[in-house]
Structure 1
Amino acid sequence: MQTKIYTHAEAFEQLASEWDDLLERSVNAPFFMRHAYQSTWWKYLGNDDLALIAVRTDDGTLVGLAPLYRKTNSAGLVELTFVGCVDVSDYLDLLVDAEHVDSVYQAILDVLEGGEIAWDGLYLCSLPQKSITHTRFAEAARARGWVVEMSRQDVCPVITLPDSWEAYLAGINKKQRHEIRRKMRRIHNEADTRWVVIESEADMPAAIDEFIALHQKSTQDKEDFWSDSLVAFFKDVAQKLAAAGWLKLYFIEVNGVRAAAMLGFDYNNEFLLYNSGYDPDQFASLSPGNVLTSYTIQHAIELGRSRYDFLRGDEVYKFRFGAEAEPVFDLRIHRPQAGGGSINVEGC
């Protein structure tokens, strides 16, 4: 195996033609590992300390990517962590060709052990339940005598979708089924209501501005969430994902006013609900957010999608819609100090 460490942003352009091809061959390939997302995140939210490890076979075929960067944590120690970690990327992972798993893992560990990258701890955040990084990669690190710690970071509530809306309703709690029907009926009876979905590149810039405005109005925390760099990232990545056909932005209009919004990714036969917003000062009594959630579930079923993933967070409303929790893991690895001690490396 051949390895190369990329330390400059040009790496994303240099690897662009191969990145998503590897992703399609990978043993686990979260949406947030796509080149469009990773490269845009680095452009707006990264620092100047990239440490991206690429692994190739002897004939030059790209079979592994560890998109990492270095940052100093609150303890003053240098961590290597994923590009995209942690707040706005719900699932991250190493990209590893399914036919070369063990050799790629060993190659990455060889690089980390070789001294070309200075680091105190490795923090692989937001690993999905089906990832093998927190099992096989962890075992490979442990076999070298390294200290490995795994913890549950969060959960992603997920609905396994049936083939019809009525079948979905029949499968959830009777009280919730009644509430969904009651709220959908009420909003239509008491107001002129319609829901719309924005998917085109041309309509996306104005729609994203409306979404951000509704998200900021939702709570004080959400208003404080939007830094200038995050707004720039979000607008840019939305355009790229819309161009690829993966972005859907839903609104519910009440008496001509857009009262709530939901942004999701339509990808690989799954619907991923990324974020939402609403205006609590208008139409709150009509529960526009809950009704819009129902519409997006119904639409995902109509499109034939197999899963509706609420992504990270254990908010009660997600489970009322029939979701079941899937864990998201963090993996921390560090090497023992000389003399048998160890370094306590906290997450970012």
Structure 2
Amino acid sequence: MFEVTVEDAFDFRSTEYAELFASSAATAFQHPIWLAQLYEKIVRQGGATPLVIVVRARVSGKLAMILPLVRRRYTLLRVVEFADMRVSDYVSPVADEETFARILADSRTVAAIRKLLRPYDLLRIGKLADRSLAMERLFGIDKRDSMGMSAYSSKLEPTFAGWREHRLDQSYRKELDKKSRQLNRMGEARFECVGGPDAIRTTFDALKLYRGKRFDGSNGPADLLQVPSYFDFYLAVANEGCGGFARTYAFWMNGRPIAGALGLEHRGSLLVILGGFDEAGYRKQSIGSLMFEQIARDCIERGDHHLDFTIGDEPYKRIFGGRPSPMWQIYRAGSPLGYAAHLTVEKLPAAKAFARRVREAAHGKKAKPAPVMVPPAPDEATESS
């Protein structure tokens, strides 16, 4: 019924993939632009090897499903992961529900997919949304495990005034109104959805500066925008997706960006994945909150239905009406070493600290030597927004 191959140079910008994605149950993080730029800018430069599993109808050759994966080595450990690379908040096979069910029912196809995954010590995939396709069944995994964190989405109302009334506390609405008046007294404040490569680059340079100060690695993961390959990736997504898939927002003060954000549009939702602001100059004016409020206004004016703050339990998401949805992970050991590595990350108290040392070593920071390097836990591998 199906033919399964590995096509590590698969063209995610091709017409056949665009058609598959459009009809699939996949997320914004499997969009053609996102995956094309991720494999080009990050995967090959990040110590990973592409593993793109392609399923086609045997008779017609029509594309049926894509599994965008990678192979990675952590010293002795061979790991198969989703093509996440710490930038994707939701993962999913790229297929529609009906086709995915037919693939699961075809034992030969399932066996072929599992064979192409090998060899590995550990198959590990996190960031599965609550209602995502049952990827665990494809890999012969009994159940999902909780990631211990949620994703948050705020339902948008037909009008901005209605959204504020239903999603924001009355006292907080008054507080934001006061902060907005303060900001406007400080100079020429202007919010916009940025267009054009020069303005986008100016916004991203500001984001890099602000996020570098806020996420310096002293209390959690260091900011990925400080890594050239990641900066180039986000900037490329913003430019290629401008006017459609990607929206770059900026708050300007007298012509200088004091806050910015990157969002991805997908089926009536805007997923906010990157944000930063001038904390030293405008924290008292709650510039970050004012920016999110204006992003919600822009989304409502465009006809969007949800503002998705994606994965992570930061308190501000609830303040803006975000409702939690659990996130899941799956794993399968392919060797005793893989089983031991999984237990190390999941069970030992020092596992997360150790995983952080591994990540810092990958970015050129000094780390203590270790006899066996294990992959970071999925929650430690999530970029802060």
Please indicate, yes or no, whether the TM-score normalized by the shorter chain is above 0.5: yes
Gaps of 5+ in 1: none
Q: CA deviation at 1:216?
A: 2.5
Map 1:293-312 onto structure 2 (within 5 A): 293-312=292-311
Cα deviation code 1:50-87 (max 9, x no counterpart): 2211111122111011111111247x3322111124x2
Aligned to 2:368: none
Aligned to 1:292: 291
Cα gap change, 1:3 to 1:161, in 2 (>3 Å): same
Distance across 2 between alignment mates of 1:302 and 1:342: 50
1:79/1:121 contact within 8 Å kept: yes
TM-score by length of 1: 0.85
Distance across 2 between alignment mates of 1:321 and 1:266: 19
SS at match of 2:339: coil
Cα gap change, 1:116 to 1:278, in 2 (>3 Å): closer
1:268 aligns with 2:267: yes
Distance across 2 between alignment mates of 1:129 and 1:110: 26
1:292 maps to amino acid? M
Find 2:203's aligned residue among 199, 202, 207.
Answer: 207
1:127/1:328 contact within 8 Å kept: yes
1:36 maps to amino acid? I
Query: Identity, % of aligned pairs?
Result: 19
Q: CA deviation at 1:90?
A: 1.0
* RMSD over equivalenced CA pairs, Å: 2.7
Aligned to 2:194: 198
Aligned to 1:163: 158
Aligned to 1:33: 30
TM-score by length of 2: 0.77
1:182 aligns with 2:182: no
1:147/1:335 contact within 8 Å kept: no
1:237 aligns with 2:237: yes
2:19 maps to amino acid? D
Q: CA deviation at 1:336?
A: 8.0
Q: CA deviation at 1:306?
A: 0.2
Distance across 1 between alignment mates of 2:16 and 2:97: 16
2:51 maps to amino acid? A
SS at match of 1:179: helix
SS at match of 2:190: strand
1:23 aligns with 2:21: yes
1:299 maps to amino acid? D
Deviation >4 Å, runs of 4+: 146-149
Distance across 2 between alignment mates of 1:206 and 1:108: 48
Aligned to 1:51: 51
Aligned to 1:78: 78
SS at match of 2:327: strand
Q: CA deviation at 1:332?
A: 1.4
Q: CA deviation at 1:123?
A: 1.6
1:204 maps to amino acid? I
